[in-house]
Each structure stands twice: as C-alpha cells, then as structure tokens.
Amino acid sequence: MIELLVQIIQNIRKMGWNVSQANGGILLVSQFTLMAQTQKGLRPDFGLAMPPAEAQALYQQLVDYARSQFKNVETGIFAADMKVHLVNDGPVTFNLEVE
C-alpha cells in the first residue's frame, strides 16, 4: 500500500510534470479522524480506525519511503493537534486516498 501511494504521487501528470520533474514538495499529514463513523448518534465512532501504535508505524513507513523517493517531503506530527497552513503555488491540490 505504501509503495502504491508513492507511485500515485510520483505519476500525477495532470499538469504535464510529475512532482520530481516540477521540483515540487509533498506534505504528509496523518488524519485519523477520516475513519470516524458519523451515521449514528451524536459522537463520532473511531472503532474502525487502526490502533494508534500500528497507525503510527504505518505512517512512519510512508514517510520513510516517500523521503527515499523525493527530495522535498515535509510531515506533520503524528496524533498532534495541528493547524496546517498551506499556500498553493499553482492551480491544483491533490488529496490521495488508497483503500
């Protein structure tokens, strides 16, 4: 799965160049709240989320592999309360998901 995510990033060519050719950067931020089930009740249910230790190990594998493939990889802090500020230098931003 990690290699697939990085291959998807590497091969985005919607704008003519991939990340490496454009000398671009990648921001990897874990977002466990994406696994929240919100169909029932008044509170989100994170029961389907991976246990934190396993999720952190998987996230770190993704970070390590991405850094082995790209020059400019920035990360967030796993499970931290972060405010992410982004300035887009270009026409698009891609959100990638793999199941």
Tens of pLDDT, residue by residue over 4-47, are 877 777 776 556 777 777 788 888 888 766 667 777 888 878 77
The answer, yes or no, to whether residue 76 has pLDDT greater than 70, is: yes
Name the more confident of 42 and 65. 65
Phi, psi of 95 (to 5 degrees): -105, 120
pLDDT tier, 50 (very low <50, low <70, confident <90, very high otherwise):
confident
Active site residues: 33
Q: In terms of DSSP H, where are the helices of 1-99?
A: 2-10, 52-69
| pLDDT for the residue 86 | 74
The answer, yes or no, to whether residue 73 has pLDDT greater than 80, is: yes
CA angle 95, 97, 99 (to 5 degrees): 175
Of 8, 1, 38, the residue nearest 26 (C-alpha): 8
The answer, yes or no, to whether residue 84 has pLDDT greater than 70, is: yes
Threshold 0.85, pTM exceeds: no
